[in-house]
Amino acid sequence: MARHSKLQKQVLSLYRQFLRAGQDKPGFIPRIRDEFRENARIKKTDVMHIEYLYRRAQRQLEQLKDVNTKQLGSFSKPEEKS
């Protein structure tokens, strides 16, 4: 079994926290899984980007835990036209 770095362990822990927090909110689990799968493609050596996403996810988790949260918004880059 491969050993995980401290940052990898933190990200896995954050993922589990998201899944627990999203259980009570319909439609959140697939969104959480998709977001983590998309970001799993980031190279392990891109530590600055991973840490940025980790901090951003921590803030999103706090919002998700709020009882008044009904949906998550997202920001995405518009697709470039050819």
20-67 pLDDT, tens digit per residue, is 998 888 888 998 999 999 999 999 899 999 999 999 999 999 988 887
Instruction: Name 71's Cβ contacts closer than 8 Å, sequence gap at least 6.
Output: 27
Could you tell me which residue, 68 or 14, shows the higher pLDDT?
14
Query: What is the number of domains present in the chain?
Result: 1
82 domain-assigned:
no
pLDDT of residue 81: 67
Position 72 in a domain:
no
Query: Of 36, 1, 39, 4, nearest to 17 (Cα)?
Result: 36
Residue 39 resides in a domain: yes
CA distance 2 to 77: 34
Flag whether pLDDT at 8 surpasses 80. Answer: yes
**Do 50 and 42 form a contact (C-beta atoms < 8 A)?**
yes
Tell whether 61 is covered by a domain: yes
Determine, yes or no, domain membership for 80: no
Q: Is residue 42 in a domain? A: yes
Q: Would you say residue 73 lies in a domain?
A: no
Domain encompassing residue 36: 6-65
In sequence order, the 6+-apart residues with CB closer than 8 A to the CB of 7 are: 47, 50, 51, 54
Report the predicted TM-score, pTM, of the whole model to 2 decimal places: 0.74
Residue 25, domain member (yes or no): yes
